Structure 1
Amino acid sequence: MKRQARVFCLLIATMTLGAQAEDAPPADDSAPPLNPHVIDKLIDVGDYLRSLPKFEVNAEVTRDTVLDSGQKIQTGSRTTLKVAGHDRLYAKADGDTQTREFFYDGKHLTQYSPYLKYYTTVDAPATVSETLHKIEQHYGIQVPTEDLFLLGRDQAQIDALKSAIYVGPSYIKGTLCDHLAFRQAGVDWQLWITRADKPLPCKLVITTTDVASFPEYSAVYSWNLAPKISPSAFTFTPRKGDVAIPLKKASQ
């Protein structure tokens, strides 16, 4: 994701709850624009994710592309993210139009296109968070599902919110979640978090509001907090026929 991954916003929406979630009223326009309990939930889920020693998350993703005519075209992808500690990451996005893999071993990050057989490797900082920041700032590259590392990460992100409301309970893939909504200049976003001792994102929807057709990004997550991950999963080894190419900086 591009700019949407850096700014999270509140979608003030009317919601009809299912029969199993009728114990709570829908969001109220008269509610405080910045609900402190909602902001606390955002910070808590981000802190919890960054505290995990390892995890694997899979996501079903849809993304809108806006044509010159203004028509929206939706594409889909299946993403996988594996993380161990603060310095190991593997990510894959297998989509309708392209497939990309990312390998980070604490020292280097490699982006690989298995069908084109091209790969590029750059030196990387010592942590996942620093690496994600560097490759986007320097190279304009976003790793699939990197939004999860950004939730409630710093005060500047919280200060940028114009509103934060609690929409109500909602079921995502059979799991009871709390539906939160946020708004910031140019972007609305909604986050569903499991109602449990271990707060995990169930779903994320981001709407770009400063583009006429209001394109959306949506991801529905499935979590494994005790995955068996081989150490070799984070290191890229070229196969026969793979070709190394240079990675140009975004300004070039």
Structure 2
Amino acid sequence: MEKIARQLIESATLRITGAGLALIIGLNSPITAHADEAYAKNLLKSMSDYMSAQKNISFNYDTDYEVTTKEKQKLALSASGTTVISRPDKIRNTRASGFVDMEILFDGKTLTLFGKNVNAYTQVEVPGTLDNLIDVLRKKYDRPLAGADLFVSNPQASLMTGVNDIKDLGSGVISGVECDHLAFRTKEVDWQIWIAQGERPYPCRYVITSKRVEGGPQFSIRLSDWKTGNEVAADDFTFNNSTNAKKIDLKDLPNGDDLPKNFVKGPAK
């Protein structure tokens, strides 16, 4: 999880507002009703078990990726997309922003990356499970899927790596859905998750805050229109070249990291 966080936000920064300062001050006082670490762990496990048990999943998502310019101007880059999953080895993911319009398809054998805005695609053989694909995209191709920690086969194991502090912050509401709000800390990142209350404890929001980068930049994802089982529309997860797109080498396909062409990532500090 920390590797994903570094890749997503290594060049970004976040300014603490007055409201944020008030929240920090408030957390210095004892939290009574929701301070039980074991209870927070149980809520996360319930979410993880629910996610692991779903064969078919689909959702829409919105992301915010914080960056700063060399002049220290803070900017937030936003994107939206959709994800359809059929376990154990199929996924269709789309993402669109002002700078990229990308579709990723995987049918258990072939990975297709389709740059809609350049009408070009590339294909590579990556046989294996969805977990293997997520790992290959992240480590080999530097193209991590947004929120991938949430839909691996065991989200709890991925999310809890290196966690040294846990807080249950009570209830929150995301897009009209009442959620349990949990906060976790590791040596390199802080992260929060909002989990829908009730029989379907799916993740509604996930926020990662870097502690390696000056200013503490954030990456956040909101999930909506959650569907499982027979609610999910059928999909064959194969690429249909209906636009007569040009096939190119992977190195020639834009990375799709939502950054304008005139942006250059700086080193983490």
Query: Would the aligned equivalents of 1:72 and 1:213 in 2 still touch at CA under 8 Å?
Result: no
> For the Cα contact (< 8 Å) 2:196–2:203, is it kept in 1?
yes
In the alignment, what sits opposite 1:3? Answer: 4
TM-score by length of 2: 0.76
Q: Which residue of 2 aligns with 1:230?
A: 234
1:244 corresponds to: 247
Aligned 1:75-90 pairs, distance under 5 A: 75-90=77-92
CA distance in 1, matches of 2:223, 2:158: 26
Q: Aligned-residue CA RMSD in angstroms?
A: 3.0
Deviation at 1:65, TM superposition (A): 1.6
The 2-side partners of 1:243 and 1:34 are apart by: 55
The answer (yes or no) to whether the contact 2:80–2:95 under 8 Å persists in 1 is yes
Confirm whether residue 190 of structure 1 aligns to residue 192 of structure 2.
yes
Deviation for aligned residue 1:46: 1.9
Q: Deviations over 1:18-67 (max 9, x none)?
A: xxxxxxxx866556998122122223212211210211111122111222
Kept in 1, the 8 Å contact 2:193–2:204? The answer is yes
Aligned partner (choices 136, 140, 157) of residue 142 of structure 2? 140
Unaligned runs of 5+ in 1: 17-25
The question of whether the paired residues in 2 share the 8 Å contact of 1:50 and 1:149 is answered with yes
Aligned length: 234
What TM-score, normalized to structure 1? 0.81
- Structure 1 position 176 matched with structure 2 position 190: no
Structure 1 residue runs of 4 or more that deviate by more than 3 Å after TM superposition: 12-16, 26-34, 150-157
Superposed CA deviations along residues 47-104 of structure 1, whole A, max 9, x for unmatched, are: 2112102111111221112222232211111110001221211000111221110001
- Of 38-47 and 116-125, more deviation after overlay is shown by 38-47
Give the alignment partner of residue 64 of structure 1, picking from 50, 66, 75. 66
Task: Give me the whole-angstrom Cα distance separating, in 2, the residues matched to 1:132 and 1:214.
Answer: 25
| Matched residue SS, 2:149 | helix
Could you tell me how far 1:15 is from its partner in structure 2? 5.0
State, as a whole percentage, how many aligned pairs show the same letter: 25
Larger CA deviation: 42-51 vs 144-153:
144-153
Distance 1:6 1:163 in 2: 23
SS in 1 for 2:39: helix
- Secondary structure of the 1:116 match is coil
Structure 2 unaligned spans of 5+: 9-19, 252-269
Q: Verify the 8 A CA contact 2:66 2:74 in the aligned structure 1.
A: yes
Q: Is the 8 A contact 1:33 1:165 kept in 2?
A: yes
Question: Which residue number in structure 2 is paired with residue 21 of structure 1?
Answer: none
Separation of aligned partners in 2, 1:6 and 1:241: 32
Q: Is the 8 A contact 2:63 2:222 kept in 1?
A: yes
What is the match of residue 39 of structure 1? 41
Q: For 1:72, give the aligned amino acid.
A: K
One-letter amino acid of the counterpart of residue 241, structure 2:
P
Cα distance in structure 2, aligned partners of 1:198 and 1:107: 31
Q: CA deviation at 1:217?
A: 1.5
Contact 1:34 1:162 in 2 (8 A): no
The alpha-carbon deviation at position 187 of structure 1 amounts to 1.2
Distance (Å, rounded) in 2 between the aligned partners of 1:240 and 1:178: 44
How do 1:89-168 residues align onto structure 2 when only pairs under 5 Å count? 89-150=91-152, 153=155, 155=157, 158-168=160-170
